Amino acid sequence: MVGTVWATMRHEAAGIAAREPVLARLIDEQILRHDCFAEALTAVLSRRLAVPALDAWVLSDLIRDVLDEEPAIIDAAAYDLAAIRDRDPACPDLLTPMLYFKGYQALQAYRVSHRLWQMDKIHLARHLQSRISEEFGVDIHPAARMGRGILIDHATALVVGETAVVEDDVSILQSVTLGGTGKECGDRHPKIRRGVLLGAGSTVLGNIEVGEGAKIGAGSVVLSSVDPFSTAVGIPARMIGPKLTTAAALTMEQTMPVTGN
């Protein structure tokens, strides 16, 4: 997957640099001058997240070390790119999310912070969490667990709590909250299973489970577990309509079933 994604992205980058010369320097610095996907991703993230006290050179070294330590991050980043291209009708290629989509960039930066958290580099992880929030409007706790093949569309105002779990192939729209219900400690955040679609502005609270392939309607507030391949909508959310036949995250179908009068 990584090799195919990288070869395709370089081909796309070369074509765009030739057609739009005003972008040639940017594309060269972020993509074409690098020998591999990991180096390009490092360049993109360090450019976006650098601050004077932790400049792009230092941040590049930090990210590079993390990617060397945990190559699974690169695999996940490639799967995330493919997921965006396949599910987002506004995404024509792989290069676009790599360079411009803050949901994609925020997710990859979270992956670095998560690894730092696992390495007990807690303050570095928290620093990155803070910068991700400031730069992208996305707040994912470094201890949260995120799978691969994840689409975070638009991304603004996404919040994912410390003990939340988001499995593979999930699609998340803007203004989603995966939060707790109060001041309780321990395992207190939602578990979002594979293939779930979380609609814009939806809120899922507490240590509850949204089952595989389910759909959460826009603006819904989910306070109890949702069955696999079900549709939940409302405040508080309730399950409606027939079972879905395909994982909602993959179809990106956000309309609700007709329930009658």
pTM, two decimals, is 0.95
* CA–CA dist 177, 179 (Å, integer): 6
Q: What is the pLDDT of residue 259?
A: 60
Query: Computed from CA positions of residues 188, 189, 195, 198, in that sequence, does the dihedral angle turn out positive or negative?
Result: positive
Q: Which domains does the chain have, with CATH numbers?
A: 1-137 (1.10.3130.10), 144-261 (2.160.10.10)
Q: What is the pLDDT of residue 164?
A: 98
Query: Computed from CA positions of residues 50, 53, 57, 60, in that sequence, does the dihedral angle turn out positive or negative?
Result: negative
Tokens describing residue 186: 């321990």
Q: What is the pLDDT of residue 229?
A: 98
* CA–CA dist 108, 247 (Å, integer): 24
170 close to 147: Cβ distance less than 8 angstroms: yes
Q: What is the pLDDT of residue 217?
A: 97
Q: What is the pLDDT of residue 184?
A: 85
Q: What is the pLDDT of residue 261?
A: 45
Query: Computed from CA positions of residues 38, 145, 62, 100, in that sequence, does the dihedral angle turn out positive or negative?
Result: positive
Q: What is the pLDDT of residue 256?
A: 80
Write out the chain's pLDDT in tens, 261 residues: 899 999 999 999 999 999 999 999 999 999 999 999 999 999 999 999 999 999 999 999 999 999 999 999 999 999 999 999 999 999 999 999 999 999 999 999 999 999 999 999 999 999 999 999 999 999 999 999 999 999 999 999 999 999 999 999 999 999 999 999 988 899 999 999 999 999 999 999 999 999 999 999 999 999 999 999 999 999 999 999 999 999 999 999 988 876 654
Number of H helices, E strands in the chain: 9, 15
Query: Computed from CA positions of residues 26, 86, 105, 66, in that sequence, does the dihedral angle turn out positive or negative?
Result: negative
Length of the chain: 261
* Secondary structure (3-state) at 125: helix
Tokens describing residue 116: 């730092």
